[in-house]
């Protein structure tokens, strides 16, 4: 189930709110666990078993780590085994198809059958969450969770279950035991949820329709059309993903949780290094904490640091989807980050802000071409549409596409920057605000509902991951 | 200074809206959506199998979407919000000037069109029929002055040129030149893609001139002011004013119309089906809308002329005129017709063929291949 859908908004959410606030505090986690499993099973009921298996595996691994707390060797064995099983599950369900189809390119393996595995929704997210728990429990950063319901709630918690943020166990350990609920927190949560819903439904979906038109014929776009298309996708993926994160964090607040912020105006970054501190922050943190630093980070010399950077970025790329273009996309950023580390960053710091931001934005936009074309041929054709005039500079259709979506693109640009938020904060203490905010919220919600009712076009980009 | 405590109005508002719409959902449901011309989903049927394989939730989702309270009002709100935002055309309909709604074209290629034309030419060659072609361009292609400044372009010119080249200019009646001296805005409906009775009449007169047939006398017998066409239904722009639909009847016409679907045939004594005037979409008033095979017999005509029309719905209104000049007209709609009618056509002595299609339909149809079957 996705948040921006009618069944979620008008059936699941009201029912969950009633159930959650009707029960006493000690039963709240159990309610969350049950509804989260229902939420997860809505699309593919059989995968509830997978989820339950993943919860049990990591729960018992945590318990064993507690039992062996004085026996480092056994402790290490438990950790290694648990991480391997987690990765095998992820590998099997997410990458088996890619692995087999790639092997089949070799004549010797052409007999292999195509594995028919439907990707379990959110597996990349909850596997990483669970691993953060076992690794931190091993390191002694948190105590093993003895209560299975509490632990299950952490893994399956529906707000962040299918598209993040990737919440580390250590960040919510206390909140899982005791958390407070208040109307103030709830109001903040509703505000953020509505904001995220608008980003997803009003901006991302409309931008997605523009991109779909351009993407359908990658080799036939005039230069203008190709740029309008990739700009639309650039904004679409941001509003899609950050909208979902906002909704997740907002829902979390309603249920008393404080999750980490996942996006911080990434398109205003002034270097690629800065961009990755602002984009999908929880994933970056995860790779830093559990891959980059354990590999030695920057403490073992420049050469080793380079290797580490490339390992992390290859993994980051392929985490985004089981297709080789994602690896390419990850490595592209690996190269850019390495170049920045070895000098460019210093230059960028001295350059005018407008220039360094333009540099960053342009490279990120080019990256999205790598990201969204799984076929290399289409990718190349699209690049050549962007940078040559082989289909002409513009056509009436490309111009119409731009002009009929200019207000949308401008809105997208405004909401990608902190401008809107600053205006909002400056108004906050005005008296009229108290009346206007609920009115604006209600109007926004009605518009989102109208949009959802009027179209079934509602695919979530991050479902694949 | 201590901040004054804020009232949680936003949250309460949100929860109230969730509650209100959830409650409205309990209201009685409609089973048919007139604008979409389809039955709405039935309530999901619970079974363990359906639950496990995910079809239950899929059904529930469709059911909720289909029966959402104030569904049409929400669709309309979304359509007008899009307009306000300048996104004219994203719904598949372009809102033009003076209440014109233009159906936007999908991706169309002359390649597929030429293939379809070749299939029909092969059929004509096999049967030895004297063939005439009329390809009707989309309203958007003909009414440039009613279109907004920026819109997806229409490629009907290219489609008609390709067709003309493929069939030769003798057999091709170019609708563009027929319409050129006329007031085109009166020849197409505003809220529908079809030609008005005036538009069809213009085609009829040109056809008669080209084939040396006498133009018969028709009288406007009925007018409806409440026609909402398919572009209207698709657009969600509910405030658009309805179209006028005129019906011209031949003075003293006497017809038998036989409509065949599958193995079942029904006979009527009129070219018009006024029952459809009670509906939103009234175009089926002409020959009852889409059918696999329609046979029109003119009892006042004994000139021995018999015609086959391969067509889509653009021919429905047109045929009510042309029927006056032929003893028998067969209309075959390849989207629905899987009947072996070739023998019947031979036995009945049909010697003429008219191909009458909307340009986009002919260029995208995947059903022309069924010609080999009939």
Q: Domain for residue B88, yes or no?
A: no
Q: Are B29 and A20 spatial neighbours (Cβ–Cβ below 8 Å)?
A: no
Q: What would the pLDDT profile of A330-373 be if each residue is shown by its tens digit?
A: 999 999 999 998 888 888 889 899 999 999 999 999 999 999 99
pLDDT tops 90 at residue A400: yes
Closest CA to B307 of B166, B138, B127: B127
Q: Does residue A405 carry a catalytic annotation?
A: no
Q: Give the residue from chain A lying closest to B94, CA to CA.
A: A404
Average pLDDT of the residues in A296-311? 87
Q: What average pLDDT does the structure give for chain B?
A: 90
Asked whether the predicted pLDDT for residue A211 surpasses 60, the reply is: yes
For residue B75, the chain A residues in CB contact (below 8 A) are: 450, 453-454
Q: Is residue B129 domain-shared with residue B220, that is, in the same domain?
A: yes
Distance, in Å, from the CA atom of B59 to the CA atom of B63, rounded to the nearest integer, reads 6
Say if B324 falls within a structural domain: yes
What share of chain A has pLDDT > 70, as a percent?
Answer: 98
B87 touches A: beta carbon within 8 Å: yes
Give chain B positions within 8 Å (CB) of A187.
6, 8-11
Beta strands B130-136 and B101-103, pairing class: unpaired
Question: pLDDT: is B65 or A81 the higher one?
Answer: A81
Across A140-144, A457-461, B68-72, B358-362, the highest mean pLDDT is recorded for: B358-362
Do both B188 and B141 map to the same domain? Answer: yes
Could you tell me where the DSSP H helices lie in B228-275?
A: 230-235
Distance CA A208, CA B202 (A): 43
Range name among A57-71, A108-122, A451-465, B239-253 with the lowest pLDDT average: A451-465
Is B273 found in the same domain as B230? yes
The answer to whether residue B90 is domain-embedded is: no
**What is the mean predicted confidence (pLDDT) over B230-247?**
92
Question: Taking every pair of C-alpha atoms in chain A, what is the biggest distance, in angstroms?
Answer: 74
Mutant choice from B7, B20, B78 vs A, greatest count of A C-beta within 10 A: B78
Q: For helices A169-177 and A148-156, give the axis angle rounded to 10 degrees.
A: 130
Type and span of the H or E element at A29: helix A25-41
Does A397 contact B at CB distance below 8 Å?
yes
Nearest chain A residue to B92 by CA: give it.
A209
Task: Please give, rounded to a whole number of angstroms, the shortest distance from the CA of B224 to a CA of chain A.
Answer: 29
Q: Which of B54, B69, B84 is the last residue before a domain boundary?
A: B69
Angle (nearest 5°) at CA B202 between B198 and B204? 110
Domain termination site, one of B50, B69, B88: B69
Residue A205 has which token pair?
A: 């979906």
| Radius of gyration from C-alpha coordinates of chain B | 24
Contacts of A442 in chain B (CB under 8 A): 13-14, 17
Least trusted range by pLDDT, from A84-93, A456-465, B328-337: A456-465
Give me the helices (H) in chain B, please.
9-24, 48-53, 55-66, 71-84, 110-127, 139-142, 156-167, 175-179, 197-211, 230-235, 314-322, 342-348, 359-364
Looking at the complex, does the CB of residue A186 fall below 8 Å from at least one CB of chain B?
yes
Which domain-ending residue is among B47, B69, B91? B69
In a domain? residue B3: no
CB contact under 8 A, B22 and A10: yes
Whole-number average pLDDT of chain A: 90
- B46 with B158, same domain: the answer is no
Q: Are A451 and B78 in contact (CB < 8 Å)?
A: yes
Q: Is A140 on the interface with B (CB under 8 A)?
A: no
B317 and B269 co-located in one domain: yes
Predicted pLDDT at B331? 96
Do B27 and B121 belong together in one domain?
no
Q: Are residues B209 and B331 in the same domain?
A: yes
Q: Which of A26-35, A299-308, A452-461 has the highest mean pLDDT?
A: A26-35
Query: Of A227-241, A437-451, B14-28, B254-268, which gets the smallest average pLDDT?
Result: B14-28
The residues facing B222 across adjacent strands are: B247
Name the B residues in 290-319 with CB < 8 Å from any A CB: none
Buried/exposed code over B185-210 (b: 16+ C-beta within 10 A; e: otherwise): bebbbbbbbbbbbbbbbbbbebbbee
Band of residue A222 on the pLDDT scale cut at 50, 70, 90: very high
> What was the pLDDT predicted at A297?
81
Residues B49 and B111 in one domain: no
Token pair for residue B306?
């018999």
Q: How do residues A225-278 score in pLDDT, each as one tens digit?
A: 999 999 999 999 999 999 999 999 999 999 999 998 899 999 999 999 999 999
What does the block give as tokens for B62?
Answer: 């469709």
Look at residue B85 and tell me if it is in a domain: no
Pair B282, B236 in one domain: yes
Complex prediction ipTM: 0.86
Asked whether the beta carbons of B64 and A7 are under 8 A apart, the reply is yes
Query: For residues B17 and B70, is the Cβ–Cβ distance under 8 A?
Result: no
Report whether pLDDT(A85) > 70.
yes
Q: Name the residue facing B10 among A191, A217, A455 (closest C-beta).
A: A191
Instruction: Write the pLDDT tens digit of every residue in B78-135.
Output: 999 999 999 998 888 999 999 999 998 888 889 999 999 999 999 999 999 999 999 9
Main-chain dihedrals φ then ψ at residue A181, nearest 5 degrees = -120, 140
Number of domains, chain B:
2
Q: 10 Å Cβ neighbour count for A379?
A: 18
Residue range A417-456, pLDDT digits in tens: 998 888 878 887 787 788 888 899 999 999 999 999 887 5
Over the stretch B133-175, which tens digit does the pLDDT of each residue have?
Answer: 999 999 999 999 999 999 999 999 999 999 999 999 889 999 9
Distance between CA atoms of B115 and B95, rounded to whole angstroms? 33
| DSSP category for residue B286 | B
CA B13 from chain center: how many Å?
Answer: 44
Q: Count of CB atoms within 10 A of residue A445's CB?
A: 22
DSSP H helical ranges for A157-288: 158-161, 169-177, 183-198, 205-216, 223-254, 272-278, 281-287
Sequence-separated (6 or more) residues with CB below 8 Å from residue B322: B204, B207, B307, B329, B354
Token duo for residue A317: 């790329």
Same structural domain, B163 and B298 = yes
Q: What is the pLDDT of residue B5?
A: 59
Query: Which chain B residues are within 8 Å of A455, Cβ to Cβ?
Result: 78
* Predicted confidence band of residue A95 (pLDDT cuts 50, 70, 90): confident
DSSP class of residue A109?
G
Residue numbers of the domain that contains B13: 9-69
* Best mutation target, A10, A214, A397, to test chain B (most B CBs within 10 A): A10
H-run or E-run covering A406? helix A406-416
**Contact call for A408 and B87, based on CB within 8 A:** yes
The pLDDT, as a whole number, for residue A457 is 32
CA dist A456 and B78 (Å) reads: 13
Query: Do B55 and B117 belong to one domain?
Result: no
Helix orientation angle between A396-404 and A223-254, rounded to the nearest 10 degrees: 30
My answer on whether B190 and B233 are in the same domain is yes
pLDDT at A114 over 80: no
Is the entire prediction scored with pTM above 0.95?
no
B10/A contact by beta carbon, under 8 A: yes
In a domain, B87, yes or no: no
Which residues 14-43 of A have a C-beta within 8 angstroms of B?
14, 17, 42-43
* pLDDT score recorded for residue B41: 77
């Amino acid at each position: 189930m996705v948040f921006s859908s009618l069944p979620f908004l008008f059936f699941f959410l009201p029912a969950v709110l009633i159930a959650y606030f009707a029960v006493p505090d000690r039963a709240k986690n159990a309610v969350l666990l049950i509804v989260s499993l229902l939420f997860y099973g809505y699309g593919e009921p059989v995968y509830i078993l997978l989820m339950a298996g993943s919860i049990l595996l990591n729960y018992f691994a945590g318990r064993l780590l507690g039992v062996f707390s004085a026996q480092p060797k056994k402790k290490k064995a438990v950790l290694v085994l648990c991480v391997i099983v987690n990765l095998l599950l992820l590998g099997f369900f997410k990458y088996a198809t890619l692995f087999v189809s790639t092997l089949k390119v070799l004549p010797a393996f052409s007999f292999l059958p195509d594995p028919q595995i439907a990707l379990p929704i959110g597996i990349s997210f909850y596997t990483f969450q669970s691993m953060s728990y076992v690794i931190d429990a091993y390191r002694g950063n948190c105590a093993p969770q003895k209560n299975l319901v509490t632990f299950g709630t952490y893994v399956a918690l529906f707000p962040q279950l299918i598209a993040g943020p990737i919440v580390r166990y250590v960040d919510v350990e206390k909140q899982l035991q005791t958390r407070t609920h208040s109307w103030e927190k709830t109001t903040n949560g509703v505000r953020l949820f509505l904001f995220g819903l608008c980003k997803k439904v009003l901006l991302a979906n409309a931008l997605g329709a523009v991109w779909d038109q351009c993407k359908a014929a990658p080799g036939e776009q005039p230069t203008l059309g190709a740029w309008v298309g990739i700009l639309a996708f650039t904004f679409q993926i941001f509003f899609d993903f950050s909208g979902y994160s906002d909704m997740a964090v907002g829902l979390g607040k309603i249920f008393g949780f404080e999750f980490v912020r996942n996006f911080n105006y990434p398109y205003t970054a002034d270097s690629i290094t800065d961009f990755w501190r602002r984009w999908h922050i929880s994933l970056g943190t995860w790779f830093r904490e559990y891959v980059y630093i354990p590999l030695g980070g920057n403490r073992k010399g420049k050469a080793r640091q380079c290797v580490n950077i490339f390992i992390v970025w290859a993994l980051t790329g392929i985490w985004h989807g089981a297709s080789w273009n994602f690896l390419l996309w990850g490595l592209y950023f690996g190269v850019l980050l390495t170049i920045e580390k070895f000098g460019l960053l210093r230059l960028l710091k001295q350059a005018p802000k407008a220039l360094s931001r333009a540099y960053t934005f342009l490279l990120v936009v080019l990256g999205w071409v790598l990201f969204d074309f799984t076929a290399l041929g289409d990718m190349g054709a699209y690049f050549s549409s962007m940078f040559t005039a082989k289909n002409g500079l513009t056509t009436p259709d490309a111009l119409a596409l731009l002009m009929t979506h200019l207000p949308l693109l401008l809105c997208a640009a405004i909401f990608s920057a902190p401008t809107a938020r600053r205006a909002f904060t400056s108004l906050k203490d005005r008296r009229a605000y108290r009346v206007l905010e609920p009115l604006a919220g209600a109007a926004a919600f009605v518009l989102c509902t109208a949009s959802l009712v009027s179209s079934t076009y509602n695919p979530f980009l991050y479902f694949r991951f | 200074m201590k901040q004054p405590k804020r009232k949680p109005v936003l949250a309460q508002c949100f929860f109230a809206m969730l509650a209100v719409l959830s409650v409205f959902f309990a209201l009685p449901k409609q089973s048919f959506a007139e604008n979409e011309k389809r039955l709405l989903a039935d309530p999901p049927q619970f079974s363990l199998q359906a639950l496990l394989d995910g079809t239950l939730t899929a059904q529930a989702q469709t059911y909720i979407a289909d029966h959402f309270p104030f569904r049409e009002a929400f669709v309309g709100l979304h359509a007008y919000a899009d307009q306000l935002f300048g996104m004219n055309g994203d719904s598949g309909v372009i809102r033009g000037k003076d209440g014109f709604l233009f159906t936007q074209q999908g991706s169309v290629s002359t390649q597929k069109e030429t293939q379809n034309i070749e299939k029909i030419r092969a059929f004509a060659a096999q049967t030895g029929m004297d063939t005439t072609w009329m390809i009707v361009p989309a309203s958007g292609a003909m009414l440039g002055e009613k279109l907004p400044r920026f819109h997806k372009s229409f490629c009907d010119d290219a489609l008609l040129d390709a067709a003309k080249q493929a069939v030769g200019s003798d057999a091709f009646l170019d609708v563009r030149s027929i319409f050129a001296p006329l007031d085109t805005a009166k020849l197409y409906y505003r809220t529908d893609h079809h030609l008005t009775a005036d538009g069809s009449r213009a085609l009829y007169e040109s056809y008669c001139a080209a084939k040396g047939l006498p133009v018969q006398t028709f009288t406007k017998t009925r007018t409806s002011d409440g026609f909402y066409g398919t572009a209207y239904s698709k657009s969600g722009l509910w405030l658009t004013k309805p179209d006028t639909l005129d019906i011209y009847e031949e003075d003293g016409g006497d017809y038998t119309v036989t409509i065949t679907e599958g193995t079942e045939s029904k006979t009527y004594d009129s070219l018009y089906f006024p029952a459809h005037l009670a509906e939103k979409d009234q175009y089926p008033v002409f020959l009852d809308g889409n059918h696999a095979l329609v046979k029109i017999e003119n009892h006042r005509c004994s000139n021995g002329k018999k015609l086959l029309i391969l067509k889509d719905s653009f021919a429905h209104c047109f045929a009510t005129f042309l029927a006056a000049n032929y003893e028998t007209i067969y209309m075959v709609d390849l989207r629905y017709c899987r009947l072996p009618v070739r023998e019947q056509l031979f036995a009945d002595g049909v010697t003429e063929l008219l191909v009458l299609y909307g340009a986009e339909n002919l260029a995208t149809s995947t059903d022309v291949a069924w010609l080999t079957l009939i």
